Amino acid sequence: MSLYAAYAGNLDARLMSRRAPHSPLRGTGWINGWRLTFGGEQMGWEGALATIVEAPRSQVFVALYDIAPMDEESMDRWEGVGLDVYRRMRIRVHTLDGDEAAWLYVLNGYEGGLPSARYLGEIADAAESAGAPHDYVMELRKRPC
């Protein structure tokens, strides 16, 4: 098994149970020095897509999953790795038990553009259901869309 750090919409445990049914939730944590942003507006969705970029003094809340080998390919397909939409990247996640190395998906596109209101609402709802702090969720809900 490998450790996957889910942010944005993949924070939703129900959604992840459909995308990676053999991969249990391990816990939550933070990626320090990065921020949630959006890009790839031209890729044909309702708006820009979630991604992360380096940003000192910023943090991104994540859920950690032990991804079973049989679920890795389906996650890559869902995130459009073969279509060059997202790519995998290794990152350090800070948890209450210490730092853990994990992989996540980063958009293969430039930062910029606005997400749809529906998408941003789904991201905020997923963060709330995953146990993100109230102020983090409220910041998501106030973002422009």
Catalytic positions: 79
Look at the block and give the residue holding tokens 């999953």: 65
- DSSP label at residue 111: B
The closest of 23, 34, 99 to 61, measured between CA atoms, is: 34
Please, what is the end-to-end C-alpha distance for the chain in angstroms? 36
3-class DSSP state of 38: strand
d(C-alpha 60, C-alpha 6), whole Å: 10
**119 labelled binding-site residue:** yes
d(C-alpha 40, C-alpha 53), whole Å: 13
Q: Which residues are annotated as a binding site?
A: 119
Q: Which residues are annotated as a binding site for substrate?
A: 119
